[in-house]
Structure 1
Amino acid sequence: MSMFCFQCEQTAKGTGCTVGGVCGKKADTANYQDELTGELIALAKAAQKNTPGVSTYTTIIDGLFTTITNVNFDNESLQRKINNIRAEKEKLLPSCSGCAGGCVKADGYDMGELWGGNEDIRSLKSLILFGLRGMAAYAHHAYVLGKSDETVNRFFCKGLAAIGKDSCTDELLALVMELGNVNLKCMELLDAANNETYGTPVPTAVTTNIEKGPFIVISGHDLHDLKLLLEQTKGKGINIYTHSEMLPAHGYPELKKYPHLKGNFGTAWQNQQVEFENIPAPILFTTNCLMPPKASYADRVFTTSVVDYPEIKHIGDDKDFTPVINKALELGGYADNHAMTGINGGSTLTTGFAHGTVLSVADKVIDAVKAGAIRHFFLVGGCDGAKPGRNYYTEFVRQTPNDTVVLTLACGKYRFNDLDLGEIGGLPRMMDMGQCNDAYSAIRVAVALSQAFNCTVNELPLTLVLSWYEQKAVCILLTLLALGIKNIFIGPSLPAFISPNILKVLVDNYNLTPISTPEADLKKILG
């Protein structure tokens, strides 16, 4: 075994990648990421014994974000980050000359101890580690917009330090639930940052067609990078198109006001190697999910922030997108208008139904429920991926009865977001609430409805049907469980890092249920 990684849904044979990553990550890169994680654990232990500053927290957050699936494939970049982590640890704990004691000043934690340890302990520590990685993405985006929280920051240290300690299952289970609660605070922080910076999202129809002429495709999740790109391309005759999780950007007033933010290119992240084939435009990756670029478009891929790939041009902290702009002008775009559609043939996607919009019409929603016009709500969302079985979500949504509402978020919606489900009382039956981090919107809406009907969230006519691929989905699931939300359906397969004993705990306490077939699950839910 030259590596070990089982953090994503598509891990090899459903057990773990041991030769190379299904994501395209090579064995040596995986080992660099393990070394980086081990150094983060050592830094977190040092931070617990001292008073860390902003640089310690940002080093931990960005280091965790770097190790999310489909973010960083570059060994040189990872080695630089490892060196930075060690330097940060040295600032907290200057070397003791001649000391041979085994303390937190020693080398980083050996991740081999975790991967080869007790199955249940490994399972719980993996839940914590992968949840921290997901939460780090949200903390990173919030920090860029000037928002941070000491409780969130300190928990990164607490959670990482626990991975490097001997703990029993009860201690780790409690920490898993604490992570879920802290992640709720982190998502709330990011929600506030986005709304204060870009305004409250409004329902917006977005075309999938591409106009002729120069354009740039921007992928990932970072709205700040999109805003900078829009500013730097003003008046240059270059159109901007979002890709995958950037789609919800069209709903924010301070972003949609730019007339050259034109539409959305393609579908979910896992289709990029087909959809970017010979694209006459550059693609800027601001976060995950980057796949190894094919030769037909590798010369026009750019990365920034924590994203890195060997021999791909990286835009540094100065955020000068001139190379991307010049490449767009050089390539020239399509000679004629270029028609594209969603997976089901639709050419218009609607987004912008975050909690601000949905709660503004809460009275209509409540009246529709009381009148029997709305029988049930489904939240169908999460990560998309290429593994067989994900057509389940398309068919599930397609088969939902006309008196039900489908809320959705994250890139899993690309399986069905070009379907026309019609309306109920003037409200669309399908409402896109945004990116994966906008799960906070769904929680806000669920809590508001439970208060309106004077019941618990679990008593609402609401069912969560989730798809997962990577670590941000993990921290969202932990938040839902920490809130006591039960009867969640999850798929297309269960995480490889959940041991049978830990799965039993989740099933017994929360009735976490693997998906089966759309017909069977709808019958079970609706009776």
Structure 2
Amino acid sequence: MFCNQCEQAAKGIGCQAIGVCGKTPDVASLQDLLIHSMKGLALVAAEGRRVGLVDADTDRFTMKAVFSTLTNVDFDPERFVALIEEAQTRKEDLKGRVAAKGGNTSFSAEPEPSAIKKILGKIFGSEAAVADFTKDPSIALANVGLTQLIAEGEKVGLPVGDEANADINSLKQILMYGLKGLAAYGDHASILGREDEAIAGFIYEALCATLRTDIGVDELVGLCLKCGEVNIRAMELLDDGNTGTYGHPVPTEVPLGAKKGKAILVSGHDLKDLDILLKQTEGKGIYIYTHGEMLPCHGYPELKKYTHFYGHYGTAWQNQAKEFDAFPGTILMTTNCIQKPKESYNDRIFTTGLVGWPGVAHIDDTKDFTPVIEKALACEGFAEDTDKGSVMTGFARNAVLGVADKIIDAVKGGDIRRFFLVGGCDGAKPGRNYYTELAEEIPSDCVILTLACGKFRFFDKDLGDIGGIPRLLDVGQCNDAFSAVKIAMALADAFECGVNDLPLSFILSWYEQKAVVILLSLFSLGIRDIRLGPTLPAFITPNVLNVLVENFNIMPITTVQEDLKAILG
């Protein structure tokens, strides 16, 4: 295997023996094969759109399939086999319908560079032994077993070899990882009934582009920026789905302690799963707690109304082994963020949606959470009430812009010197204490906007307020980056300037592919001077980095003192 798609890539290069996330070589191979299969489906779907054939169900499947390969989503090989088989079935079915409309169904994907052929030849005996499917994913894949599928996946992983163009490969990886993030947001929105066929249309266009060997740097850079632009639309749809269904978040105080009684902990990102669970647990004597990126759910009026929706437990995803072990109830994982469960809680953790781990009980799309509830009732629960303080959440765009006049007056009056957007993904690698120190060192006349699980480095710190405006404003999940963008754009309009001219600095942390597509979204808006850490992506070559520096002045974080001096003077 070779995987470099997350910030924790081994040795800063890539995981080759086993994923730092816990992904095995077999699962990595099946994920690569699924992506290759989706490229074949994309060739047919893109041709279908050319002749006026749009299949909404295939669009939804595409987003789910691509999302399932994002870091910390699904580790179950059997589920990837099912997705690969479905991709093949859908491709052949779509071919017939495209042909009936007069479209082309005979594709010849560009062959692999010769160096890759030689490497594959050494592995499989001869160049001729390399399956035709490796060269052209639009052809049918024979009905083979798991072992053969894994072998096929090994053929279609990341390009290697001296003759491979490193910069082109780097841009293709940025695009592919951006697509994984885009697919995630598109799927989140679709679950809430918000869809735009242009999102899947771009995913097909971009997947097809990754098969080309004649594509140049400029075209790939353009596709990466377009990926960010399309993602803004996806996040807009998701925002509309969340707020249209559950109301606009309001500032809310969330207890960090516990209530005596039975308990269920919900982690991940999915508001609908939480809502369904809250409905099914009413009157059962069970308190529901959030974990990780579910914290902002406490700010939504239609979720706040449940009296047994109590508080927040724990911090970010990478601490779950210790935190879940100590939680005296059941755990429900929605969307991504799962790690290998410890034996001590393996029988009381459940997955749903696209999340999967071999041997962990999975709740299917009927969303009948009875097993989760019954197990929670059998667990000991919290023995007593505890008070561990509280945190504030719910400062999404409506809440912040509702006091925009006070913010503008505070800036003009010199009470607020600068805004810092400090957020993104948290992770386990050293260096992330930078974000804790940064929050502590940012001067008291500055406001910190934060979102995603990066906030857990400082979310419980009392940073005070400026004229009644809290200095720490939790905008929400990584999914709520749209809110942060709308806040920035509204402030720019109010001050009659561009976003880059605002007293606003972006200092971001990244871990997985949602962060990649959010970064591309910021680039598509022309936002400059972003500081990124704790390390730069392993898949960005020096030449590609230079392009980003020249166009957007992106830079790595250094030290808190040096960065603040550069920003504040």
Q: Which amino acid aligns with 2:9?
A: T
Measure, in 1, the Cα distance between the counterparts of 2:383 and 2:292: 24
Name the counterpart of 1:78.
Answer: 80
Measure, in 1, the Cα distance between the counterparts of 2:465 and 2:387: 27
Report how far residue 439 of structure 1 moved: 0.8
Confirm whether residue 318 of structure 1 aligns to residue 366 of structure 2: yes
Q: Deviations over 1:332-380 (max 9, x none)?
A: 312223455xxxxxx3111100001111110000000000000000000
Measure, in 2, the Cα distance between the counterparts of 1:161 and 1:184: 21
Name the counterpart of 1:238.
Answer: 286
For the 8 Å contact 2:265–2:330, the answer to whether it is kept is yes
Q: Which amino acid aligns with 1:112?
A: G
1:154-165 equivalent positions in 2, closer than 5 A: 154-165=201-212
Name the counterpart of 1:285.
Answer: 333
Name the counterpart of 1:414.
Answer: 456
- Would the alpha carbon gap of residues 452 and 325 (structure 1) be closer, same or farther in structure 2, given more than 3 Å must change? same
How many residues align? The count is 517
Report how far residue 67 of structure 1 moved: 0.5
Name the counterpart of 2:420.
Answer: 378
Name the counterpart of 1:343.
Answer: none
For the 8 Å contact 1:52–1:92, the answer to whether it is kept is no
Measure, in 1, the Cα distance between the counterparts of 2:157 and 2:311: 45
1:213-362 equivalent positions in 2, closer than 5 A: 213-338=261-386, 347-362=389-404
Name the counterpart of 1:106.
Answer: 139
Report how far residue 281 of structure 1 moved: 0.8
Confirm whether residue 506 of structure 1 aligns to residue 548 of structure 2: yes
For the 8 Å contact 2:39–2:137, the answer to whether it is kept is no
Q: Deviations over 1:364-410 (max 9, x none)?
A: 00000000000000000000001000000000010011100000000
Measure, in 2, the Cα distance between the counterparts of 1:369 and 1:410: 26
- Would the alpha carbon gap of residues 326 and 507 (structure 1) be closer, same or farther in structure 2, given more than 3 Å must change? same
The structure 2 residue matched to 1:61, chosen from 54, 59, 63, is 63
Q: Deviations over 1:292-331 (max 9, x none)?
A: 0011111111000100100100000100000000000010
Name the counterpart of 1:442.
Answer: 484
Name the counterpart of 1:31.
Answer: 29
TM-score normalised to structure 2 length:
0.89
Name the counterpart of 1:344.
Answer: none
Measure, in 2, the Cα distance between the counterparts of 1:429 and 1:100: 59
Name the counterpart of 1:477.
Answer: 519
The secondary structure found in structure 1 opposite 2:448 is: strand
Name the counterpart of 2:124.
Answer: none
1:138-217 equivalent positions in 2, closer than 5 A: 138-166=185-213, 167-217=215-265
Measure, in 2, the Cα distance between the counterparts of 1:199 and 1:156: 30
Q: Which amino acid aligns with 1:483?
A: L
For the 8 Å contact 1:380–1:413, the answer to whether it is kept is yes
Name the counterpart of 2:127.
Answer: none
Q: Which amino acid aligns with 1:254?
A: E
Report how far residue 107 of structure 1 moved: 4.9
List runs of 5+ in structure 2 lacking aligned partners.
100-104, 109-135, 142-152
- Would the alpha carbon gap of residues 488 and 100 (structure 1) be closer, same or farther in structure 2, given more than 3 Å must change? closer
For the 8 Å contact 2:420–2:505, the answer to whether it is kept is yes
Measure, in 1, the Cα distance between the counterparts of 2:137 and 2:14: 30
Confirm whether residue 11 of structure 1 aligns to residue 14 of structure 2: no
Report how far residue 276 of structure 1 moved: 1.3
Report how far residue 513 of structure 1 moved: 0.8
Q: Deviations over 1:244-276 (max 9, x none)?
A: 000000000000110111001100110001111
Report how far residue 62 of structure 1 moved: 0.2
For the 8 Å contact 1:4–1:115, the answer to whether it is kept is no
The secondary structure found in structure 2 opposite 1:292 is: coil
Name the counterpart of 1:136.
Answer: 183
For the 8 Å contact 1:381–1:410, the answer to whether it is kept is yes
For the 8 Å contact 1:278–1:296, the answer to whether it is kept is no
Measure, in 2, the Cα distance between the counterparts of 1:143 and 1:197: 13
Measure, in 1, the Cα distance between the counterparts of 2:106 and 2:73: 37
Name the counterpart of 2:506.
Answer: 464
* Percent identical residues: 54
The secondary structure found in structure 1 opposite 2:282 is: coil
For the 8 Å contact 1:46–1:104, the answer to whether it is kept is no
Query: Could you say what the CA RMSD is over the residues aligned between the two structures, in angstroms?
Result: 1.6
Report how far residue 105 of structure 1 moved: 3.4
Q: Which amino acid aligns with 1:54?
A: A
Q: Which amino acid aligns with 2:268?
A: G
For the 8 Å contact 1:467–1:490, the answer to whether it is kept is yes
Report how far residue 278 of structure 1 moved: 4.5
Confirm whether residue 494 of structure 1 aligns to residue 536 of structure 2: yes
List runs of 5+ in structure 1 lacking aligned partners.
341-346
Report how far residue 213 of structure 1 moved: 1.2
The secondary structure found in structure 1 opposite 2:74 is: coil
Measure, in 1, the Cα distance between the counterparts of 2:497 and 2:384: 55
Q: Which amino acid aligns with 2:477?
A: Q
For the 8 Å contact 1:408–1:431, the answer to whether it is kept is yes
The secondary structure found in structure 2 opposite 1:402 is: coil
Name the counterpart of 1:368.
Answer: 410
Q: Which amino acid aligns with 2:274?
A: L
Tell which structure's C-alpha radius of gyration is larger. 2
